[in-house]
C-alpha cells in the first residue's frame, strides 16, 4: 500500500475508530445492495450502484434527492484493491483507465481520488478516508457541499446497517 501524502490545501480527511471489523466495513463498501442502504446521508438515497471490484473496474452510483430527482451518475475507476484493508478509486478517469472527456462532463464540478484505509484496532477499525482534489477550488467546493457532515453521517449509517 502506498498511502498518499496529505495536502492541507487540496485534501479532505475523515478519521474515526469504529466498532466494526475491517471485513464488515469492506463488505459495506463493496456490495452494491449494501451501498444503496448507507452511501449518502438521509434523506437522500442511492438508487443505483454498480461495482466491478478490480483495478481498472467501475464504481458507479446514482443518488436521489428527497424530492425524487436523480442526480447525474457518479462514475469512477478503481485504482487499487487490497481486500479488507485499502480501496482507492477516482472520478478523474473512467473504467479501464479511460480518460474522462471534460467536454462531456458538464455535471462534474470537480474530480477527486479517494483512499479508504481500514486498520484493525482491537475489535474495531481505524477508518480513514482521504479525498484528494486536483485544485483548491475542487476541495473548497466539496467542503461547502458538506463533506465532513455528509461523510460522517454516511459512516454512521454504514455502522448502523452492519451492526
Contacts of residue 106, defined as CB under 8 A and 6 or more positions apart, other chains included, come to: none
- Is pTM, for the whole model, over 0.85? yes
Nearest to 1 by CA among 95, 94, 111, 79: 79
Nearest to 32 by CA among 55, 62, 64: 62
What is the full per-residue pLDDT of the chain (163 aa) written as tens digits? 778 889 999 999 999 999 999 999 999 999 999 999 999 999 999 999 999 999 999 999 999 999 999 988 889 999 999 999 999 999 999 999 998 876 555 556 788 999 999 999 999 999 999 999 999 999 999 999 999 999 999 999 999 999 9
Say how far apart CA 40 and CA 48 lie, in whole Å.
12
Partners of residue 128 on adjacent β-strands: 15, 117
In terms of CATH architecture, what is 11-162?
2-Layer Sandwich (3.30)
Q: Where are the domains of the chain?
A: 11-162
Q: Answer yes or no: are the C-beta atoms of 1 and 79 closer than 8 Å.
A: no
Amino acid at each position: 500500500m502506498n498511502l498518499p501524502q496529505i495536502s492541507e490545501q487540496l485534501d479532505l480527511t475523515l478519521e474515526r475508530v469504529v466498532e466494526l471489523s475491517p471485513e464488515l466495513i469492506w463488505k459495506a463498501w463493496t456490495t452494491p445492495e449494501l451501498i444503496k442502504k448507507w452511501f449518502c446521508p438521509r434523506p437522500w438515497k442511492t438508487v443505483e450502484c454498480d461495482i466491478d471490484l478490480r483495478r481498472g473496474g467501475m464504481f458507479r452510483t446514482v443518488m436521489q434527492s428527497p424530492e425524487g430527482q436523480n442526480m447525474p451518475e457518479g462514475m469512477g475507476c478503481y485504482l487499487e484493491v487490497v481486500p479488507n484493508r485499502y480501496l482507492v478509486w477516482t472520478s478523474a478517469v473512467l473504467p479501464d483507465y479511460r480518460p474522462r472527456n471534460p467536454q462531456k462532463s458538464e455535471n462534474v464540478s470537480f474530480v477527486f481520488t479517494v483512499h479508504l484505509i481500514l486498520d484493525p484496532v482491537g475489535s474495531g477499525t481505524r477508518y480513514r478516508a482521504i479525498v484528494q482534489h486536483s485544485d483548491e477550488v475542487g476541495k473548497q467546493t466539496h467542503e461547502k457541499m458538506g463533506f465532513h457532515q455528509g461523510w460522517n453521517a454516511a459512516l454512521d449509517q454504514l455502522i448502523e446497517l452492519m451492526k
